[in-house]
Structure 1
């Protein structure tokens, strides 16, 4: 990998704010992000990505490549939680294996927007259909993870509501806002984008910096919980994103994606959820230990992807696509 590319990514202001958040916790500075602002920054990013993606969809022509891209997104959303579940069952009980499999089968919008900023620095754009792919990949892993857990407990007579699970998976706040913004961007087209651009585009990088500052604070607080995860799960949290990104690259080559599209698709494949899955697992699989799946995604996979993964995946796309 080109050291210059890695350095440019590390010196990207939003990434530096991520390190600042980590440093604040390690030095016990007392810096805190109010919960309301944390939620607002996440909501803003979902709105901005969704709205811009919807505008790009309205302007784009639907092609066979777009169709196969969405099929590939669906395939990865189904494949990853299944194969990772059986790997995790080698060391873990069914509840924790199901929760972690769902975590790594779903996607991280935070990683996606950071990769988006990386492409912006290179003055490159990706296809708006990948925003639809982001929305498409978030929910199936949650359902599969809970299904794995329920299949294992089917003879225990425990009560469970599939209706509530499906509601959480498809109507959770972040996914609802993302899809809603995507649809509004499609319906309003160029006139809507021109009206919202000062807010949705000009402020994007600043909002992302605050979002990653908050993620740095949260990730650093989770570092101490990695003792619970152990070496097997820490290794899993690094290797599985690399495996999933490699599978994503294979799909991208078959479909014939452009380098920016292939890069963003690899990011989707390599990321792990820390918001939607966490909320769903707490209620649907309460036996799973949050001090395993949350630190793995937040304190290992997310920093790995932001610091090393993003420039690494771009390097691979440039040389092997």
Structure 2
């Protein structure tokens, strides 16, 4: 892998502040982002990236290439939980296997946002429709994970407490998914006029908010690392190798579909990332038997930092090697 790409990604200010947050937590500093603010930062980032994606869609229009990309995104979100579930069943019970499989079938919006900022720094263009792919990949993994749980081992007595209505509501009306899709639609409907009115809000302060958010993520990730000491080498290895395998698969799909360099990287990042917001919220509601310290810690303390430090430049290198 080209070391200059890794260095370029690491020397991105938001990524450096992620390291600063991790270091503060590891050194037991009293640095802390006041609790309401991280939620506000998260909502802002989802709104901004969704709105900008909708604007890009309004500019480019919707064509067959966009439609096939979104179909591929849905298929990946449905397929990844299936094979990861059976890998995880080697060591784990069905509840934890289903929760972790759903986590890795879904996506991390912040990893996507970091990758898009990396592309902008590298002056590589990408399509706004990738935001639509981002929004739509949250829900299928949750549903597939729960189907796997019902088919391959959930106890019959738990059926009485199980409600598909709650599952579908959590999958499709989860706050982050709803805001992302709503922002995409607003950007699509308002087009250039909407972008002009919101430009200072959605563009000029974007990287400042992302920096604060990643600083907080660094603090949280460093604290979660301690939980991973209890999981053993199997889940630690899974947290690194499965995202890489999924990212490579995403690159190959992007090559077949002719997505181009920027879109190919973002598709690979979507396939390689893991959810630490939407899926954990859904799993806590629908699979209370699963241990949150496993799937949250794996996604946030290992997969997330790996992807933003090494994964993003690695996947771009592979995209260039295969000529996507």
Measured after TM superposition, the shift of residue 154 of structure 1 is 4.9
Contiguous gaps of at least 5 residues in structure 1: none
Residue pair 1:81, 1:145 contacting (<8 A) in 2 also: yes
Supply the RMSD in Å over aligned alpha carbons: 1.0
Q: Which moved more, 1:103-112 or 1:123-132?
A: 123-132
Counterparts in 2 of 1:1-321, with a 5 A limit? Answer: 1-151=1-151, 152-156=153-157, 157-321=159-323
Residue pair 2:261, 2:319 contacting (<8 A) in 1 also: yes
Measured after TM superposition, the shift of residue 125 of structure 1 is 2.5
Per-residue CA distance 1:110-146 (angstroms, 9 max, x = gap): 1000101101111222111110000110011111112
Measured after TM superposition, the shift of residue 160 of structure 1 is 1.1
Q: Which moved more, 1:120-129 or 1:84-93?
A: 120-129
Residue pair 2:248, 2:318 contacting (<8 A) in 1 also: no
Contiguous gaps of at least 5 residues in structure 2: none
TM-score by length of 1: 0.98
Per-residue CA distance 1:202-256 (angstroms, 9 max, x = gap): 1111111011001101100101001122100000010111111111111111111
In structure 2, how many angstroms separate the alpha carbons of the residues matched to 1:176 and 1:12? 29
Residue pair 1:149, 1:285 contacting (<8 A) in 2 also: no
Measured after TM superposition, the shift of residue 62 of structure 1 is 2.3
User: SS where residue 229 of structure 1 aligns?
Assistant: coil
TM-score by length of 2: 0.97
Alignment coverage as a number of residue pairs: 321
In structure 2, how many angstroms separate the alpha carbons of the residues matched to 1:250 and 1:90? 27
In structure 2, how many angstroms separate the alpha carbons of the residues matched to 1:231 and 1:292? 13
In structure 1, how many angstroms separate the alpha carbons of the residues matched to 2:291 and 2:268? 28
In structure 2, how many angstroms separate the alpha carbons of the residues matched to 1:79 and 1:316? 22
In structure 1, how many angstroms separate the alpha carbons of the residues matched to 2:195 and 2:211? 23
Residue pair 1:228, 1:291 contacting (<8 A) in 2 also: no
Measured after TM superposition, the shift of residue 33 of structure 1 is 1.4
Measured after TM superposition, the shift of residue 288 of structure 1 is 0.4
Measured after TM superposition, the shift of residue 77 of structure 1 is 0.6
Per-residue CA distance 1:171-229 (angstroms, 9 max, x = gap): 11111100000000011000000100111011111111011001101100101001122
Per-residue CA distance 1:267-307 (angstroms, 9 max, x = gap): 00000000001111111101101111111000110010011
Per-residue CA distance 1:74-106 (angstroms, 9 max, x = gap): 110110001100111111100000000000000
In structure 2, how many angstroms separate the alpha carbons of the residues matched to 1:276 and 1:62? 27
